[in-house]
């Protein structure tokens, strides 16, 4: 496999929870290797970015970065250097106190963002602000921060997203 999806879990999440398991199945159907690094040893978003950037991805011709909450932030920051084929972001922790970056240079035009109207962790307007700045696709859904209630909908969108990344 010369294609890789790197899923970055959120602050209080685990590497192989429901979201990465659901997305991994879709990725495999498209011929992607799927990894989900374990960031549980640090709640520092910048340390997580460094850990992601330390991975050897040189064997892959196509890289897609995905992530949820802090993991979406990590993916977006790392994308500046990794230049992925796409960014798939779930309830991204953008424009929050304690995060070093508020200016993003995603390194790709293929960006899809999912956010819940009832998110009480990251305000929905933060997703709108990012998407407006980068002309990214934004899906506002009737869900909370975790968005598990709409996982089937996100998996279907991820399927179409990977098809676009493959064509890109």
State the average pLDDT over residues 122-126: 98
Residues 6+ apart with CB under 8 A from 100: 45, 46
Write out the two tokens for 85. Answer: 């084929």
pLDDT at 36: 98
Query: Would the pLDDT of 100 be above 90?
Result: yes
What share of the chain has pLDDT > 70, as a percent? 99
Instruction: Kindly list the distances between the CA atom of residue 155 and the CA atoms of 12, 74, 80, in Å, as whole numbers in the listed order.
Output: 22, 21, 25
Class of the CATH-defined domain 3-167: alpha beta
Query: Would the pLDDT of 120 be above 90?
Result: yes
Residue with tokens 């159907």: 29
Query: Would the pLDDT of 78 be above 90?
Result: yes
State the average pLDDT over residues 145-164: 97
pLDDT at 55: 98
Confidence of residue 168 (pLDDT cuts 50, 70, 90): confident
Angle CA(101)–CA(96)–CA(131) in degrees, nearest 5? Answer: 75
The 10s digit of each residue's pLDDT in 35-77 is: 999 999 999 999 999 999 999 999 999 999 999 999 999 999 9
Query: Would the pLDDT of 1 be above 90?
Result: no
Write out the two tokens for 73. Answer: 């932030």
User: How far is C-alpha 5 from the geometric centre of its chain's CA atoms?
Assistant: 10
Cβ-contact 36, 20 below 8 angstroms = yes
Residue 157 burial (CB count, 10 A): 17
Strand ranges, E, within 22-148: 33-35, 62-68, 86-90, 111-116, 137-141
Query: Would the pLDDT of 150 be above 70?
Result: yes
Identify the residue with better confidence: 139 or 168: 139
pLDDT at 121: 97
Q: What is the mean pLDDT of the chain?
A: 97
pLDDT at 149: 95
């Amino acid at each position: 496999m010369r294609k890789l999806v790197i899923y970055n879990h959120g602050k209080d999440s685990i590497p192989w929870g429901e979201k990465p398991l659901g997305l991994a199945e879709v990725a495999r159907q498209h011929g992607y290797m799927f990894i989900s690094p374990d960031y549980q040893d640090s709640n520092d978003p910048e340390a997580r970015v460094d850990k992601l950037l330390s991975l050897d991805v040189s064997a892959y011709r196509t890289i897609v970065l995905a992530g949820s909450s802090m993991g979406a932030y990590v993916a977006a920051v790392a994308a500046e250097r990794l230049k992925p084929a796409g960014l798939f972001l779930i309830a991204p922790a953008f424009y929050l106190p304690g995060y070093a970056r508020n200016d993003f240079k995603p390194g790709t035009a293929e960006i899809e963002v999912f956010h819940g109207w009832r998110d009480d962790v990251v305000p929905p307007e933060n997703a709108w602000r990012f998407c407006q700045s980068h002309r990214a696709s934004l899906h506002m859904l009737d869900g909370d921060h975790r968005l598990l209630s709409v996982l089937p909908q996100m998996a279907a969108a991820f399927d179409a997203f990977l098809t676009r990344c493959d064509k890109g």
